[in-house]
Each structure stands twice: as structure tokens, then as C-alpha cells.
Amino acid sequence: MLFNQTNKKVSNLILPILSACFLLLLAACSDPSGGTGTTAPNPPNNVSAQAVVATLKHSPTGTTELSWNPEDQKLTVKISLTGLAPNSSHAAHIHAGTCAADGAIVYPLNTIVANAEGAASSETTIEHVKNGIPASGWYINIHNGTTMAAIEHMPIACGNISNSNTSTKEKQEAHVVLGNSIAPNESASGQAELATENGKVTLKITLAGLVPNSKHIAHIHAGSCEEQGAVVVMLNPVVADAQGNGTSVTTIEKVPSTAKGLYVNVHMGGTMDQLKQSAFFNPIACGNLPVK
């Protein structure tokens, strides 16, 4: 009898303790966020990271500012450009007509000389311009060099001149945007896509507007299209098909890190030997990569 009473007392003590332990164990195993308590699996390593895309645009780019003074009949032409071959020199003219077709030279302009980053500016004053800037019928041409050789004479930047105020009694001004030209490869555009998949980094270039079946050297450079720098990654050449659509895919060990930024340059030339000449180094398409 005494044993039964004692056993009952022990049971009454142990049961609450076991219940409390069970509740504590259950709480420890449960998900504090309200979930099932299972650990979420890590993402599979073959999932692609979001691609980084750079828009490849015609290069070089720039502006021209024209001003005409009726008092002395002087025309001032100021040109500013970026994206030229570094340390290159270029002839420039005002031509008759439009960028859509070659026209005769109206006025020669001072030679444009690029610095080590491919930027340049020039200023030319032309005397005895009796009637000022016409409403239309002039355009600015920037050539690929200073000689009449075919590769150097070709225009690499062009802009039509338009003037809304042709009064010869007032000062005239005109703003011109310099962009594509009708020369081969000088209206190319596309994109460069930098992506990671299965632990590999690839850069894919797609371009339209190239000469059919042409080949073009491409690089990743340090800097930007506006302030060019050294080559940091050699890319596979861009090869165009019969329709002038070009592609290039390159596997890269890693994306270089630089405080100056990175950009993709596609050049006129198709071999490294050609790129030793500024006329072939000429960037035909450029895009800044939005990476650090």
C-alpha cells in the first residue's frame, strides 16, 4: 500500500517534468519564422547570374558649334570629340550637301589631334563668309586620317548643319551632333553581354551594320569610351556574316577590377598588326560596362 502511494506521487512529479521537456524540445526544433523547420537548400550552382549589358554605339561621337558674326563676317567652328584612336590626327571639313552623300568641300578646317585618351578639340576661324550659315545644305565631316588614302579619307563622324536664323543682320549660331557616317562599318551598333554561368564568365558581342564577312578585333579596356585606357582583356574577333551581323563569344577567367571603369571597344581592323596603325585602331563601336 505504501509502495503504491509512493509510486503515484513519483508519477505525479515526473509527468509534468516530461511534458515540459517535450515542449522545450518542440520549440527548439520549430522554425521561428513559422515554417516547417527544414533548412532551405542553397541555389543550384548552374543558375546564371543576371547579365550585365553594355550598349555598343557608334564611335567617335561629339559636337560642333558654329557661330557667325555679321560685323566682321567671320565664321568660327569649334569641334569636340571623344572615342578617337588615341594620339591620332584627322582632317575635317565643311562639305556641301548632307551626310547621306558625299559633297564638295566648302571650307577646310584645322586638323583634329586626339590625346592619349582619344579626346580632341579644334577651333577654326574662317574669314569672308558673306552670308553666314545657311539654313541647310552644309555638313561636317571628320575623316579617319589626314591623307587621301582610302582608309584615311573615309568619314568616321558626320553631322548635318541646320540654322534656323539666317538673318545677315544678326549673329548666327548652330549646334551639330556628330555621329554615324555612310562609310563602311561606321554605322555599326549592338550590345555586349557579360554573364556568369556554371562558374564561367562569358562576354558576348552582337553587332549589326558591319561590312558583310568582315572581321574586327575587340577588347575590354580600362577607362571609358569617353576617356580611353589600356587593353585589359583580349576578346575573340567579331566576325560578320553575309548580312553584316557580327558576333563574338569569349570565356574570361575573371572580370578585371579597376577604379577607372571598363568598356568594350570594337575596332576597324581585323588583325593585331593592323591595329598598330591608328586608321585601323579606329573604334567603330564602343560601350561602357556597368561594373566596378
CB–CB of 66/177 below 8 Å?
no
- List CB contacts of 259: < 8 A, sequence separation 6 or more: none
Q: Are 256 and 18 spatial neighbours (Cβ–Cβ below 8 Å)?
A: no
> How would you classify the pairing of strands 138-143 and 120-126?
unpaired
Phi and psi (nearest 5°) for 9?
A: -65, -40
Q: Which residues pair with 265 in a beta bridge?
A: 219, 286
Name the strand (E) or helix (H) holding 11: helix 2-29
CA distance 175 to 157: 15
* Res 102: pLDDT: 85
**Coil/strand/helix, residue 276:** helix
Quick: pLDDT tens for 145-199.
999 899 999 999 999 999 999 999 999 999 999 999 999 999 999 999 999 888 8
CA angle 224, 53, 255 (to 5 degrees): 65
Domains of the chain plus CATH, in order, are: 61-178 (2.60.40.200), 185-289 (2.60.40.200)
Burial 184-202 (b: 16+ CB within 10 A, else e): bbbbbbbbbebebeeeeee
pLDDT in tens, 108-125: 999 999 999 999 999 999
pLDDT at 277 over 60: yes
